Amino acid sequence: MVGYKLGTIFGTHGFPVYDSTPLFWTESALQYRTARRVAQTGTVEAVMKDAQYPEGLDVKNRLTVIMETVCGYLYRLTPKTVPFKTFLIIIIALYSSLGVIPLYLTIAFLNDRSSALCAAALYAVTPAVYTTVTAPGFELQDFALPLVFFHIYFFIRAYSAEKYRYPYSFVSGAFLFAALASWHLTQFYYLLLVGFVIICFLFTSYDTKPFSIIVATNILAGLAIPALKTLGFVFSLAMLLSYCIILASAMPENRLVHRKTVLVCLMVVAGSLSYHISTHVISEYRFIYGFMWDKLRHFGARPAQPTDLPWQTLVMWVSPFTSPSRTAIISSLGTVLISGTIGAVLTAHRLLKRSGTLIDGLLVYFTVIFATLYVLMVRMDVFLVWFCCVLSARLWRDSRKILQYVLLLCIIGNCIFLFLRPRRTVGPDRNHLLGMLIHVRTNIPAGAALLTSFAYGPSILAYADHPIVLHPKFEGEHNTTKIEECEHRLFKDENAFYAFCRAYSAAYFVYQVDMLLARGPESMRYRTHAMTLSKGSVVYAFHFRPQVLKHFELIYTNPHYRIYRVLGYGAEPHARKLAYFRVYDEQMFDVADFGISVTE
Amino acid sequence: MNKRLLLAGCVIIAATISITHIPFTVEPISAPKVEYAGDTLLKRGLTLYARDSLQEAALILRRVLTFYPDFSLLHFYLAEVSRRQGDVQTAEKEYTHAIEIDHELYPAYYELALLRHAAGEHARAIQLLETAIILNPYDREAYQTLATIYIDIGDFAAADKVYQRQRAVEEHTVE
């Protein structure tokens, strides 16, 4: 697995051996920059002023930086034989592959070693496992997922063993603790686990004690981890439901009090309380729940008219939170879909015959849930693959020989898929991005803040060391409000946008051609409901008529980007003779085709 | 086993808490400035090129390739240096590479067309110049060269059409 990851990244033509610009993209670039800071100085600024200029990004209380810290410290401890970015790629390739160990251990524990080996082999050749690392990415999920999988392994041990069930659940809780501290989305996984526990509580005679230990470690995480504390994790829906389960199980069972009824009542209270918290106290939850609700409401498909959805939903409704296409499902999951489905059917059959165990229920539950979620959000593929592989091991243990052959064929099939699939690079065209970054590094004075779209901010911060106004971490306080305001003002007049630049002390603005020309479902125009525009909007001037701008001076241009200097009050822009690119030539376009009204 | 598991859990929790607290500092830190050797070399290479120190410029720009292997402008400048040094083969290779990376880099099409024309490959030169004109319809030199090639090959009607096209664009621009 490690070899494939490294081979894919380093073997790419054009891999910058001596320079990292601009290897990582958006969130990965921001995380790379933080890790580099740790490697250089051993510290991280609690409030990173240059990452969300001018107020600063409260890294300590808002973000999870375990991955960056671990990688940075490891680099400090090891001899500096390779550049930091190469070290980072090697470390994350190694670390992210650890998810196969809990997979092997789980199956070896539940079945036997030979089926564990087969399932591990299937996991190792499934393309979805490599998507983020080979992008190349430096993503939090690659760090957190092995921790989540180890947590699941120990959770299974806790609920299977007669002896040591509490120590096992404590270790399971400890791994979940680490995962929660590493990746915000772990909370989402935990909510699903709570869902499983509720089902078990309602329909079986479920022992909640091991689960209570996990809840206790989670409470500790909610209190000890600054980012979780800020998010009010101990009052999140998942935690409130956990308290309900523990409370209900603690009730003495008698004729008057029925535990299951108590749980249902408590869940209603918890749901109402969570709704109140997310709408009035902690807006971050409203953001994600609102997005999930809108996705479900539209069955995972974007509406034809963006006006049906708010900006907050549309800004999240981008890759990797989009639904996968049929081609993407086949190319990333491949044959694991076949073996996983057969495994799930066999296990479900056992459950229906009442010969299945609680663990069988857990595995089928997670597989079904993650399959459903995967249809809504492509990012869920990593969970789905893991659970499908665990269930695939059932094929090896089945008495029917044909199922063993099916599993072997699935492994071979995915192996072929993996080596034949085209290489996918995440991010924009590197040539023009590099050109723009070199210009920023060599021509823009140090310390000058740049306003870019939120996705491009980290590239400027990481590879040009300039403060940025916007970044893609929606957890950052006020960041989403700033992004929303910026994106909306871009489609208004020049003065409105200039006021925004001045308010946040942006000295330069980086314009991208897709700000005006793109109208697809992931475009700025789509999410700001600006599908039709007038020629009087500032974005039109940024693209076609820089000479009419009064407060912005065009200083650099390439076919994808333009850099504007934000002028001081009363300053006159200087007309510069810059290279011609037809993409900026008004006469080359029938602007009506781009939803731009011909009247001024 | 019991104790070992408990100890392992405690270690994981303690390590996580430590890692989430240790690195933070409230003071602004001044990290050492990241040196972009590629930028410095590129600047030096271009300065040498502007000063006509072609051999040195070529050496420096070749070193920049290790930093930015897929940067179209770098390949373009390398081609320019090679062309001026008289190394037509390398120049052609680098212009072609620049075009492969950036299909819109019209100066590369133009320069490559000149080399093809000099090599007697008129059809290819015409094709490249037509592309250069599509990419930049205001490139006066491209029209002139294209018309000259047509004259060289005796196609005066085509040359006249090129001049007409140029005039139309220029008149349109004046308007």
My answer on whether A368 and A256 are in the same domain is yes
Helix (H) or strand (E) holding A266: helix A259-276
Band of the pLDDT at A256, cuts 50, 70, 90? low
My answer on whether A382 and A368 are in the same domain is yes
Contacting residues for A432 by C-beta, under 8 A, at least 6 apart: A558, A559, A560, A561, B102
Tell me the HSE value of A44 on the side-chain side, using a 13 A CA sphere: 34
Residue type, B148: T
Q: Please tell me what DSSP assigns to residue A99.
A: G
My answer on whether A395 and A436 are in the same domain is no
Number of domains in chain A: 3
My answer on whether A467 and A412 are in the same domain is no
Q: Where are the alpha helices (DSSP H) in chain B?
A: 2-21, 37-50, 54-65, 72-85, 88-101, 106-118, 122-135, 140-152, 156-174
Q: Do A69 and B172 touch (CB under 8 A)?
A: no
Contacts of A168 in chain B (CB under 8 A): 5
Contacting residues for A379 by C-beta, under 8 A, at least 6 apart: A141, A185, A320, A321
Instruction: Identify the domain containing residue A498 by its residue range.
Output: 430-594
Å between A234 CA and nearest CA of chain B: 16
Question: What's the length of chain A?
Answer: 600
Q: Do B67 and A16 touch (CB under 8 A)?
A: yes
How many Cβ atoms from other residues are within 10 Å of residue B9's Cβ? Answer: 23
Contacting residues for A295 by C-beta, under 8 A, at least 6 apart: A313, A317, A376, A377
Residue A45 pLDDT > 80, yes or no?
Answer: yes
B114-161 pLDDT, tens digit per residue, is 999 999 999 999 999 999 999 999 989 999 999 999 998 999 999 999
Residue A318: phi, psi to the nearest 5? -130, 170
ipTM value, please give it. 0.90
Task: List, in order of start, the domains of chain B with CATH numbers.
Answer: 34-101 (1.25.40.10), 103-175 (1.25.40.10)
Å between B16 CA and nearest CA of chain A: 6
* CATH at A571: 3.40.50.12610
My answer on whether A109 and A200 are in the same domain is yes
The pLDDT, as a whole number, for residue B2 is 82
Q: Do B69 and A432 touch (CB under 8 A)?
A: no
- Candidates A160, A247, A155; CA nearest to A192 is A155
The pLDDT, as a whole number, for residue B173 is 66
My answer on whether A393 and A542 are in the same domain is no
Contacts of A173 in chain B (CB under 8 A): 9
Among the three residues A74, A92, A110, which one is the final residue of a domain in this structure?
A92
Å between A424 CA and nearest CA of chain B: 17
- Asked if the structure places residue A599 within a domain, the reply is no
- Asked if the structure places residue A174 within a domain, the reply is yes
Average predicted confidence (pLDDT) for chain B: 90
My answer on whether A58 and A37 are in the same domain is yes
| Strands B24-25 vs A552-557: parallel, antiparallel or unpaired | unpaired
Q: Do A580 and B138 touch (CB under 8 A)?
A: yes
A479-515 pLDDT, tens digit per residue, is 999 999 999 999 999 999 999 999 999 999 999 999 9
A553-589 pLDDT, tens digit per residue, is 999 999 999 999 999 988 888 888 888 999 999 988 8
Contacts of B138 in chain A (CB under 8 A): 580
My answer on whether A413 and A509 are in the same domain is no
Contacts of A16 in chain B (CB under 8 A): 67-69
Mean pLDDT over residues A79-105, rounded? 91
The pLDDT, as a whole number, for residue A276 is 84
> Looking at the DSSP assignment, which residues form a beta bridge with residue A57?
A48
Q: Taking a C-beta distance cutoff of 8 angstroms, is the pair A519, A533 a contact?
A: no
Chain A residue at shortest CA distance from B138: A580
Identify the residue among B2, B18, B19, B44 best suited for mutation to test binding to A, counting A beta carbons within 10 A and taking the highest. Answer: B19
Q: Do A225 and B42 touch (CB under 8 A)?
A: no
Band of the pLDDT at A162, cuts 50, 70, 90? confident
My answer on whether A512 and A528 are in the same domain is yes
Q: Taking a C-beta distance cutoff of 8 angstroms, is the pair A581, B104 a contact?
A: yes
Residue A341 pLDDT > 80, yes or no?
Answer: yes
- Specify the residue for token string 């209900």: A248
Q: Do B16 and A44 touch (CB under 8 A)?
A: no
- Asked if the structure places residue A378 within a domain, the reply is yes
3 state SS of A162? coil
Give how far Cα A547 sits from Cα of A165, A552, A570, A598, Å: 72, 9, 16, 19
Contacts of A69 in chain B (CB under 8 A): 19-20, 22-23
My answer on whether A375 and A465 are in the same domain is no
My answer on whether A447 and A380 are in the same domain is no
- From the list B5, B37, B70, the residue facing A168 with the nearest CB is B5
